Structure 1
Amino acid sequence: MGNGISRRSGIFYGWIIVAIAAVGTCTGFGTIYSFSVFFKTWIGEFGSSRAVLSGIYSVAFIIYGIASMVMGWFSDRYGPRKVIATGGTIMAVGCMLTAFCHHTAVLYLTWGLAVGIGVGTCYAPTAATVSKWFIHRKGMAMGILVCGLGMGTLVFSPLSEKLIQAFGWRIAIFILGLIALSVFISESLIIRGKPAEIGLEPLTAPPKDGVEADPDVARKLDMPEHSMTVAEALRTRNMWFIFAIHGLWMVGVGIIMAHFVPYATDQGTNVNRAAAMMGSVGAMSVIGRFSLGVLTEKWGIKRSFIIILCCQCLTMLLPFLGSSQWQLWAFVVIFGFGYGGLASIFPLAHAELFGVKAMGSLFGISLLGATIGGSAGPLIAGFSFDVTRSYFTAFGAGAISTAIAIILATGIKKKA
């Protein structure tokens, strides 16, 4: 099958996998990032402080990191289908049970634990799977996959707010659970771990001047000399730099994703517009994920990290200049674009620096670093607001952590 294209349909099956995987990441991350929309509703319902309620999001993010590592390992060994079905079902049931909660402590289990497992299932295993389907157009495929993360915010933040207004928060989150169940079960039925499972080859470059691409290139790239084991990668500086960069950058991302809607409404923005702004973060991240994911193939991993991290660092300082409506819109547009671009770089960096053989496990380890930062950010924001009645300390912390990530990015070597 030339280039792994199905003669029956004329469409490379890998693109179908990319599409359904993007819908899965959209659902998983859309659910966890809808926390910001539920935030003030839950404060009114349960009477909790912002710090205590932020802990639910932090628990979900920590579990997301652990689940990414564990599910990535299971996916490498047993394939993604059962992993996605299991994790997606846990997430869906957790959302449904959240609808019946009457105490904040229970939310830590039904939302924090279960949603975290689901998000960890929908990203690392699918990123590793997509990498195995593409040699040519890998950057584009990864860009489309991680567009799902941005689409999640774009779709689920305004959707959640509309559902809350129409039916109340309990029915709203139950509906999110039903959506998650249908999406992840469908994804598990469609996805395939490797092209060889259905008699295809990974997508390679088209022939040039009548010369066919090397038919063995896919097998060569998956051999030990081209792909590191987990133990080998963990002995490299690159792996730990990427782990730290992911975590430091996610401090700021966690602050925004958990607290932007409360911050915007504190500045006098009505809740519908604040949810729309949060959705705009997702819209701009889709543009950033796709465009910068492709450009990274030309710029290189190191340069892409440095450029986009610098933009993110400066963006975290924008709230110090003011909080008018146009400034809030400027913040979400710039932040969302850079957020999407960086999210697309991490899986590409793993594939380029360490190969694809153990990518599910290695990317899961990297996501554990991301969740450490992503869980710390909301707690910093919640505690600082409870003490100072302001988010300025949190924004400053996000800028500082991103600046440290920039320094580490300069130390990435082309070859581990």
Structure 2
Amino acid sequence: MISSQSRSLTDVAETRKHRRSFYGWYVVLAAFVVTLIGFGSAYTFGAFVGSLEHDFRASRGSVSIVFSLAGFLYFALGAFSGPLADRWGARRLAVLGMLVTGAGLIAAGFASSLTGVYFSYGLGIGLGVGLSYVPVLGAVQRWFIRRRGLASGLAVSGIGIGTLVMPPLASFLVAATGWRHAYLVLGLLAASVGCGFALLIANDPYEKGQSPDGDAVMDSAKLPQAQGVSIKVAVTSRRFICLYAACLIGSFGLFIPFVHLVPYAQDHGITPANAVLLLGMIGIGSTAGRFVLGGLADRMERVIAVLAMFVGIALSMIIWFASTGFIMLAVFASVFGIFYGGFVALLPALVMDDFGGKNVGGLIGILYTSVAFGTLVGPSLAGFAFDMRHSYSLSIVASAMASLVAACILVCASRARVPVQNNDLA
């Protein structure tokens, strides 16, 4: 009896020790920093719009193409970086992505024309974030089951914190040293800090002899194999097709605030410093959305939660349409940020839930090509619409309508059958 109790106490102690040393939270931390640096650098663009317009005598539509190009690339490249991470591991791609991000920012500081900014910032940020984002998200999904929504929310909350911290930092650097030196500083920051944390990434818990959620694994021979459907089965399912269509349409307006909210505010008499703070408000709301909504979605059907995010984004656009002063714009930025953050946190977890972990990186990457096209078209069209009408009203209304259409499509997705997961290698 004593021997049995002793073994029982030993097993409990080993289990607690295993949970305390669970490596999954280090993976979450690494993903948090990589997304903070990558997307934080991307979302500083609003702080540079005025300087680029002035120095290169460019229209707002032409300048907006820089961000649209970067956004298109970093979401579209997920279709390639995701499958590569499934085969080679996420760490290598994340490190490479942070190096490319830093190099692109540094090169932008030396650009002698707007075309040079297209190639340096657009390609650098696009390739860099594209190489790192989907791989680190895919890695996080494999480390968790019961707390996947929370873990995913924590990981991508780096985007929210990056939106809160990086644009004001960029605005300060632009005012203090000029936009060229600001890009140099941001580039060095991305390469050093981003690469350091990317080295912490581990592709799945089985690399560390652990199992998802930190559950103890006593016999390595009994480690389960990754479950999931093949990419072909997933992408031809009605569930995935509806999800892809919803993300494609909803993304047309999703990234317009990141480019145009700052110039919109300045057009309405708000100082540049306060205008940049609005991006910070998106970051605060986004972080709250990832923490709170990511955790809540663990208790409900995730596709319904994503549907609710699109409805919330549409409602926030109504607030923007009616706003001209700083207070109302801050309300819009906060509300939009909450639902945008929830959307970003829930999407990878939804893919993992529906299609399994075997090809999760590739499937997230393929799904994000829908967001890529929306990012390419939305901000640039909003810029050219402003050049013609000197107003963002049409773009804001179109963004709200696109989000509502996306929500309607997700109603169909919620009724579609989820493919059966297995160990097929197809």
TM-score bucket of the superposed structures, by smaller chain: over 0.9
What is the identity, as a one-letter code, of the residue corresponding to 1:323? T
Q: Which runs of 5+ in 1 are unaligned?
A: 207-211
- Report the CA distance between 1:66 and its aligned residue: 2.4
2-side partners of 1:6 and 1:122: how far apart? Answer: 33
Q: Which range moved further: 301-310 or 121-130? A: 301-310
- Tell whether the 8 Å contact from 1:3 to 1:204 is kept in structure 2 after alignment: no
d(CA) in 2 for partners of 1:231, 1:8: 37
What amino acid maps onto 1:219 in structure 2?
P
Give a deviation string over 1:124-167, Cα, whole Å, max 9, x none.
10111011111221111101011011111001011110111111
Q: What SS class does the counterpart of residue 411 from structure 1 fall into?
A: helix
Comparing 30-39 and 115-124, the one that deviates more: 115-124
Aligned: 1:219 with 2:220: no
2:388 is the alignment partner of 1:387: yes
Which position in structure 2 is the counterpart of 1:322? 323
SS in 2 for 1:190: coil
Matched, 1:157 2:157: no
Q: Taking every aligned residue pair, what percent have the same amino acid on both sides?
A: 31
CA contact (8 A) 1:59 1:108 kept: yes
**Counterparts in 2 of 1:340-379, with a 5 A limit?**
340-379=341-380
Which of these residues, 112, 118, 136, is aligned with residue 122 of structure 2? 112
Deviation at 1:248, TM superposition (A): 2.0
Residue 230 of structure 1 aligns with which residue?
Answer: 231
Could you report, residue by residue, the CA deviation over 1:241-278 in whole angstroms, capped at 9, with x for unpaired residues?
22222222222222111111011111111011111111
Matches within 5 A, 1:162-201: 162-201=172-211
Give me the whole-angstrom Cα distance separating, in 2, the residues matched to 1:303 and 1:52. 37
Please say if 1:94 is aligned against 2:104. Answer: yes
Matching residue within 140, 149, 158 for 1:139: 149
Provide Cα deviations, 1:35-82, integer angstroms capped at 9, x if missing partner: 111111110111111111111111111111222111111100000121
Change (3 A) 1:131 1:6: farther
1:203 aligns with 2:213: yes
> Is the Cα–Cα contact under 8 Å of residues 76 and 358 in structure 1 kept in the other structure?
yes
Q: Secondary structure at the match of 2:110?
A: coil
Instruction: Report the CA distance between 1:183 and its aligned residue.
Output: 2.4
- Deviation of the 1:204 alpha carbon: 5.5
TM-score when normalising by structure 1 = 0.93
Offset at residue 8 of structure 1 (A) = 8.1
Q: 1:213 to 1:310 in 2, by over 3 A?
A: farther
Contact 1:319/1:392, CA 8 A, preserved across alignment: no
For structure 2, list consecutive stretches of 5 or more residues without a partner in the other structure.
1-10, 420-426
| CA shift for structure 1 position 295 | 0.8
| 1:315, distance to aligned residue in structure 2 (A) | 1.3
Deviations, residues 189-235 of structure 1 (Å, cap 9, x unaligned): 211112222222222569xxxxx999999726x23xxx111111111
1:5–1:123 Cα change, 3 Å: farther
1:415 equivalent in structure 2: 418
Native 8 Å contact 1:243 1:369 kept in 2: yes
TM-score, reference length from structure 2: 0.91
Partner SS state of residue 210, structure 2: coil
Q: 1:218 to 1:240 in 2, by over 3 A?
A: farther
State the partner residue of 1:38.
48
- The answer to whether the 8 Å contact 1:284/1:333 transfers is yes
The answer to whether residue 31 in structure 2 is matched with residue 17 in structure 1 is: no
> Given that residues 247 and 374 in structure 1 are in contact (C-alpha distance below 8 angstroms), is that contact kept between their aligned partners in structure 2?
no
Report the counterpart of residue 8 of structure 2 in structure 1: none
Bigger radius of gyration: 2
Give the corresponding residue for 2:281: 280
Q: 2:64 matched to which residue of 1?
A: 54
**Displacement after TM superposition at 1:396 (Å):** 1.2
Q: 1:70 aligns with which of 77, 80, 92?
A: 80
Aligned partners of 2:353 and 2:375: how far apart in 1? Answer: 25
Q: Secondary structure at the match of 1:192?
A: coil
Describe the shift of the 1:2–1:282 C-alpha distance in structure 2 as closer, same or farther (beyond 3 A).
farther
Residue aligning to 2:302: 301
Q: Which amino acid aligns with 1:358?
A: N
Question: Could you tell me how far 1:4 is from its partner in structure 2?
Answer: 10
- The amino acid across from 1:97 in the alignment is A
* Corresponding position of 1:209: none
Once the two structures are overlaid, the 10-residue window that deviates more, 87-96 or 185-194, is 185-194
Distance 2:19 2:300 in 1: 34
- Please give the secondary structure, in 2, of the residue aligned with 1:219: coil
One-letter amino acid matched to 1:14: G
Determine the C-alpha separation between the residues in 2 that align with 1:213 and 1:414.
36
Q: Which has the higher mean CA deviation after the structures are superposed, 241-250 or 333-342?
A: 241-250
